[in-house]
Structure 1
């Protein structure tokens, strides 16, 4: 790549070759055809010479060097994000840490990203009835399509395909479903999501799945307040066996027909705090942990980061006065403690982390848990036990993870040991 590209860029920017500017380079004669353009770009801080005061206009230039010039031109406002030079050097600009919103869009304003997860679960340990196959494996592919509506709003949708190779849902066919579709944007300081999106409540200890809802979130200082209302939508039925606890046993339309949620949180230095309240009506006991009726759950939690370590604790309180079903829990509260060290970052090959959690949750504190252990097999009684695991970034955007769970029923001798492993590739 020759430095004549710099001159071409100068012409594209409308910098006249006869523009008057002081000559900053000793090897650029005043009579050179590009004298005015180079001098003006140098005066604007877009191009630099060598330490000896020369420009070396005939020296071959790398794409990385050219990208640095384009980055400076962007910063100076000499070119816009939609300039062809910006598109040409998009990868190099990204490596330089230059984030340009319009680089992250396709020509039709739609960005496509995704991930592929291959997972295997072995649940041969323990004593549980109705677990079905002890081993299950599947390949899950997700495609996210993000369309820019305007500077403040975008539309997100997600298609998911599952192929089951082993286990209860094994079949010769795969299934594909349209699982998320929502608007995300801002009105003033308010962030709003509306449609079908994933909702995580209390770090997933209460709920972590899709909702058809509207959510508002507003920051103030180092704190925030959010509120959501809608329906807890259909869940992922991978590994589902279920207990026929009510007339809705065959109805998988929703986890709960209606829910309200509010969260207040913030941070003080390295300490993150959050409190939540969730009310879920008409819980479908056939597809959660055996509870039917309404639930009210309060939580308060804290996480503290000290160097590479992160410790957390959460207290949960449920109100099961309105719950019915084949089982009735005698324990309506619970707690979760966690410990983490470092963590695998998809962008950093070789990065790794370790983590552990201890759970003691009564059934009224759970609507649909986030864990990969068999939490939903302790019908109506809740569970206690631990999780340990680790992750490792094998290559950029390729992260492997292993988790082990040892869970027991809070009121019975039910026992489940689960080994979960996965490889996630993002693109």
Structure 2
């Protein structure tokens, strides 16, 4: 059975809400002061029983589920001491009404009361299409297309005031072949936050801090430590699954290797300085894995290490324009051993601001043995060229993105091109 919030308000003046109406300020833009339920809504919001939506609205005519009502009841129970005897009796009735749902969920009312605000879920659903084309030695065009839908769920649970647990679960649907992946656990880590100090343990997201970076963004099984504020020191160590690295797939195509490489041992150290409008980063990365023992990487095929150095800087001229430059060098690779970019950003699409938009233009040179897994949806493995892109917020938490890359393959100087489009829904 479903009921609307408006119809429930008459029975949800709980946990002392009626007593504190005159002092409460209504936080919801879509509940005017002359609305009959204004005082009740303001009181319930002040007591933390209702929260509304991320865009600042209450949506009082929208249907809510019985589970959402059970959460409201649990929050009211937490504030039960504020209410009168009649309020407490009403709370007991509400708890009894929703006991069946809580039992089916395997959650007792007492547990829900304690944990109602501890676990928070967010995520996204997105549709992605891209067409990647390369010219071959015969002058023909080789192409590969992707047409997929992804669902991503990201729960976050608080342990105490300093520690919390994060996770990310992904599932994909390949629309071209009509196949569906099983839900996979991509990330799971515990995080401790202290003044000027942060530590992550587990399967963590791993990436450098500047926009459109050359290297790299994937997940690392290990530890990350961050220290400082204006000057930030970051140290990471662990192992990376080659299944999470675009480099391994590209290297297999380039060298005809069919078997996946083992996990890569990885360590990195980075220092970032932010003296106002400027942000500068210097970083060192070390990889060790047998997949580097190939003549594509080293002429003799006798090295299994990558030592990569990076410098990057972003200068923000004003609220609209920002310019980024970066350079990387792999001192172990004999070829395709450097990468660099120049990237100009204009404005930026904000997730919750309908009509906001942004655009960028950049030149990227991505040496295949240096840009191991760059955060880039345009330029691809061992290519150079110009990339342009734009984002537009169609509705709050709904964005469209388009990217076009045109350039050359570094291995043979033949044409390379990519068209990328994505529609994203955040929740």
Relative to the length of structure 1, the TM-score reads 0.70
Displacement after TM superposition at 1:361 (Å): 3.6
Quote the offset at 1:375 in angstroms.
Answer: 1.9
Is the contact made by 1:297 and 1:364 (CA closer than 8 Å) also made in structure 2?
no
What is the CA–CA distance in structure 2 between the aligned matches of 1:344 and 1:247, rounded to whole Å? 41
Matched, 1:165 2:139: no
Greater fraction helix: 2
Question: CA shift at 1:186, angstroms?
Answer: 2.2
Distance of 1:226 and 1:118 partners within structure 2: 33
Q: 1:26-425 residue pairs with structure 2 within 5 A? A: 61=35, 85-87=47-49, 89-91=50-52, 95=56, 107=116, 109-124=118-133, 126-127=135-136, 133-166=143-176, 170=177, 172-187=179-194, 189-201=196-208, 203=210, 204-220=213-229, 222-236=230-244, 240=249, 242-243=251-252, 249-254=258-263, 257-282=264-289, 284=291, 293-305=304-316, 306-320=318-332, 323=333, 328-329=334-335, 332-373=337-378, 375-376=380-381, 378=382, 383-425=383-425
How far apart in 2 are the matches of 1:93 and 1:163?
Answer: 28
Cα-to-partner distance string for 1:118-143 (whole Å, 9 max, x where unaligned): 11111246448999653221111111
Deviates more, 1:229-238 or 1:398-407: 229-238
Gaps of at least 5 residues in structure 1 are: 14-33, 49-58, 74-84
Instruction: Decide whether aligned partners of structure 1 residues 233 and 187 sit closer, same or farther in structure 2, where only a CA change above 3 A counts.
Output: farther
Find the aligned partners of 2:38 and 2:135 in 1 and give their Cα distance: 57
Residue segments in structure 2 that go unaligned for 5+ positions in a row: 1-5, 27-32, 59-73, 76-113
CA contact (8 A) 1:193 1:216 kept: yes
CA offsets, 1:349-372, max 9 Å, x none? 111111111112433422222222
**C-alpha distance in 1 between matches for 2:141 and 2:159:** 46
Deviation at 1:160, TM superposition (A): 0.6
**1:236–1:128 distance in 2 versus 1, CA, 3 Å:** farther
Q: 1:47 to 1:179 in 2, by over 3 A?
A: closer
What is the Cα deviation at residue 347 of structure 1?
A: 0.4
* 1:272 and 1:303 in contact (8 A); partners too: yes
Q: Taking structure 1 as reference, are residues 126 and 369 closer, same or farther at Cα in structure 2, changes over 3 Å only?
A: same
CA RMSD in angstroms comes to 3.8
Instruction: Please report the TM-score for the alignment, with normalisation by the length of structure 2.
Output: 0.70
Q: How far has the Cα of 1:242 moved from its partner?
A: 4.8
Q: Bigger radius of gyration, 1 or 2? A: 1
